Amino acid sequence: MAHSARAGWAFAAPGLTMLAIVMGLPVLYALAMALSSMTLLRPALHITGVGNFLQIMSEPLFWSSLGLTLRYALGAVVGEFLVGLAIALMLRQVVALRGLYFAVLTLPMAMAPVAVALIWRMLLQPNLGIVNQTLTSLGLPAVDWLGDPHLALKTMIFIDIWQQTSFVVLLLSAGLASLPREPYEAAEVDGAGPLQQFWYITLPLLRPVAMIAVVIQLINEFRTYDLVYILTRGGPGVSTELLSYFAYQRAFKGLALNEGSAAAFILLLIVLLITVVFFFLLERRKS
């Protein structure tokens, strides 16, 4: 090994060691629990194999939770991206009070998801909440936002978009600000209109930043737990029971730490897979 490489490893060693301790060990312990017979009633760690994975994967509720998680994550990320891109493009044109707009836009992002869920739970309260009060005062019927199994997941996606879009706006605004002027000047000389400029210049140049925004948000959405816990507890029925909530319920209500860890590990593998695929696509694009 070259001297410079050895020096590099030496400098990185403290950081890597810390990372291994605070990240690697808990993940390995979770994997060990997932492969063991450990429950809250019998907390000893005896490795028994992949039985817990097979057990939860044999349950329809697991697949229903996984399907709902995919729908939720895709719905939220697509919504956040489209709304975030629209806002970022509009903000690009704004000169006056730009700082104020950004400050207001980042407020939801600064709030804890639990607080956001509690606020929306009150706003959407079917009988006394301000949203339904407004609808009924306009002569419209009250809507059962969180109690209708066909609407509850969509309502949660909307609340997620409300909170998380500002993060996408910030990332895309930074990406837009870094785009070079020259392609636009050349396009104007060639007579390209605003839509053509957006489609053929802005979008392709913005793609790396956009992909990073999408992958970060996808990871966030897969981990969503707070909104489910505060808003619906997975109901009505199982219409909002996401995989993270399934894992928690299994571990702490069902007292089965092993099965809960197995579900959480599957969630981790999905998130890892998505991350790897996105970064592979990003690298391929670069090369």
Residue 241 vs residues 62, 178, 255: alpha-carbon distances, Å? 9, 41, 18
CB 145 within 8 A of CB 152: yes
| CB-nearer residue toward other proteins: 89 or 135 | 135
Give the residue among 268, 265, 249 at the shortest CA–CA distance from 40.
Answer: 249
CB 242 within 8 A of CB 230: no
In the set 7, 16, 40, 54, which binds other proteins (CB under 8 A)?
40
Residue 49 CA to its chain's centroid (Å): 31
Give the residue among 73, 70, 246, 86 at the shortest CA–CA distance from 157.
Answer: 73
Least distance to other proteins from the beta carbon of 260, Å?
12
In the set 20, 54, 177, 255, which binds other proteins (CB under 8 A)?
255
Residue 234 binding other proteins, by CB under 8 A: yes
Residue 41 binding other proteins, by CB under 8 A: yes
Residue 187 binding other proteins, by CB under 8 A: no
| CB-nearer residue toward other proteins: 165 or 240 | 240
* Tokens describing residue 124: 């959407």
Residue 183 binding other proteins, by CB under 8 A: no
**Alpha carbons 83 and 103: distance in angstroms, whole number:** 17
Q: How many residues bind other proteins (CB under 8 A)?
A: 30
Residues in 140-179 at the binding interface with other proteins, rule: CB under 8 A = 142, 144-149, 152
In the set 37, 55, 106, 125, which binds other proteins (CB under 8 A)?
125
Give the residue among 270, 251, 272, 273 at the shortest CA–CA distance from 260.
Answer: 251
Least distance to other proteins from the beta carbon of 224, Å?
17
Least distance to other proteins from the beta carbon of 239, Å?
8
| CB-nearer residue toward other proteins: 217 or 250 | 250
- What residue type is 105 in one-letter code? L
Ramachandran sector of residue 99 (left: φ over 0; alpha: ψ -120 to 50; beta: rest) = alpha
Residue 108 binding other proteins, by CB under 8 A: no
In the set 37, 89, 102, 235, which binds other proteins (CB under 8 A)?
235
Cα separation of the two ends of the chain:
28
Residue 285 binding other proteins, by CB under 8 A: no
Residue 112 binding other proteins, by CB under 8 A: no
Q: Which residues bind other proteins (CB under 8 A)?
A: 40-41, 43, 125-128, 132, 142, 144-149, 152, 231-239, 249, 252-255
